[in-house]
């Protein structure tokens, strides 16, 4: 995710970054400009249609379509941003759940450092790291540290990794309960925190695996394309060759809104505007280690 100062207008206007839509749309903008130049030359120089009132009425159609397309784009961008913001709230919940579980287990297990506390110090932040990779790739890749972890050798990387990590945590908590180190009322409290991990994972998967309906996305792209294709037919009469940069700019604005919506509707990808889940995973690891060290 790009960190920036929202009050720095000058930098926003004149700075081009990797995710800037102008870079990605440059070939299409040049193509639209060439198309508009051809239409302007044919209308003004070859066919001399500047006095044709029937073609001038196309501007009325463009005015009506401009209202419709603006409503569609507003709905599109709002829906995409809602998905991005929901993903951010879910990962905020994961951060809090990791802290709460660590605080409770650290208090219950006591101040003495033992194998159980070492296990939870490693496994709790491991869930966030695994979930981050799970949401970014089709197959989860578990990156372990250089230490030996024999309790994880039986994990199947071809299966749902977050579920396996959550199962390990719950099994260890159950064993502590059977050993008498965790009381019944404490188990109920810890169970709520453990359940929250899976709830966050399921909600994130719902966002990732349920994109905007295909028909809607395709229709909006076609609508933008054909709308821009008809603009030169009316703009040339009133603007002449100035219609070339005007149409190109309109296409840039409309297509950029669609591209921005496409990028943020999946907040768990690797784009610059996606959520920094790996950074949040590192922060969880840092905070959990601090809690268990106290």
Q: Are 267 and 87 in contact (CB under 8 A)?
A: yes
DSSP 136-163: HSSS------SS--GGGTT--TTS-HHH
pLDDT given at position 217:
84
**Structure tokens, 97:** 């759940």
Q: Are 86 and 206 in contact (CB under 8 A)?
A: no
The whole-angstrom separation of Cα 152 and Cα 167 is 11
* Sequence-ordered list of residues with C-beta below 8 angstroms from that of 100, at least 6 positions apart, any chain: 193
State pTM to two decimals: 0.80
Query: DSSP class of residue 44?
Result: I
Other CB atoms within 10 A of residue 121 CB: 20
The pLDDT tens digits of the residues spanning 189-243 come to 899 999 999 999 999 999 988 888 888 888 898 999 889 988 888 788 778 889 8
pLDDT per residue as tens, the chain (294 positions): 566 555 665 666 556 555 577 888 889 999 999 999 998 888 777 776 655 555 656 777 777 888 888 888 988 999 999 999 999 999 999 999 999 999 999 999 888 778 888 899 999 999 999 999 888 874 433 443 445 555 555 666 677 888 899 999 999 999 999 988 888 888 998 999 999 999 999 999 999 888 888 888 888 989 998 899 888 887 887 788 898 999 999 999 999 999 888 888 889 887 778 888 989 999 999 999 999 887
Residue 284 in 3-state DSSP? helix
Instruction: Name the nearest CA neighbour of 284 among 101, 115, 119, 153.
Output: 101
Instruction: Name the nearest CA neighbour of 124 among 293, 294, 289, 273.
Output: 289
- Find where tokens 């690797």 sit: 270
The whole-angstrom separation of Cα 122 and Cα 101 is 13
Find the distance separating the first CA and the last CA of the chain, reported in whole Å. 32
Give CA 292 to chain center in angstroms.
32
Other CB atoms within 10 A of residue 166 CB: 20
Instruction: Name the nearest CA neighbour of 207 among 158, 134, 129.
Output: 134
Instruction: Name the nearest CA neighbour of 168 among 181, 179, 186, 156.
Output: 156
């Amino acid at each position: 995710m790009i960190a920036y100062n929202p009050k720095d207008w000058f930098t926003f206007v004149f700075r081009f970054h990797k995710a800037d839509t102008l870079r990605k749309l440059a070939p299409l903008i040049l193509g639209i400009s060439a198309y508009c130049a051809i239409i302007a030359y044919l209308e003004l120089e070859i066919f001399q249609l500047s006095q044709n009132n029937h073609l001038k009425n196309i501007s009325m159609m463009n005015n009506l379509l401009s209202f419709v397309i603006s409503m569609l784009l507003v709905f599109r961008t709002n829906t995409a941003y809602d998905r991005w913001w929901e993903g951010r709230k879910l990962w905020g919940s994961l951060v809090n759940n990791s802290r709460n579980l660590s605080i409770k287990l650290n208090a219950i297990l006591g101040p003495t450092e033992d194998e159980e506390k070492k296990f939870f110090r490693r496994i709790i932040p491991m869930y966030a790291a695994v979930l981050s990779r799970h949401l970014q790739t089709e197959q989860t890749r578990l990156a372990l540290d250089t230490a030996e972890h024999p309790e994880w050798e039986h994990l199947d990387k071809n299966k749902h990794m977050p579920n396996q990590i959550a199962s390990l945590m719950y099994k260890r908590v159950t064993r502590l309960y059977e050993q008498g180190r965790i009381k019944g009322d404490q188990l109920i409290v810890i169970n709520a925190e453990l359940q929250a991990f899976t709830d966050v994972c399921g909600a994130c998967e719902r966002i990732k695996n349920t994109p905007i309906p295909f028909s809607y996305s395709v229709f909006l792209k076609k609508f933008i394309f054909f709308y821009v294709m008809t603009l030169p037919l009316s703009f040339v009469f009133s603007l002449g060759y100035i219609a070339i940069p005007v149409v190109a700019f309109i296409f840039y604005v409309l297509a950029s809104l669609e591209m921005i919506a496409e990028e943020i509707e999946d907040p768990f990808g690797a784009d610059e505007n996606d959520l920094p889940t790996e950074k949040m995973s590192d922060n969880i690891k840092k905070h959990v280690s601090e809690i268990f060290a106290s």
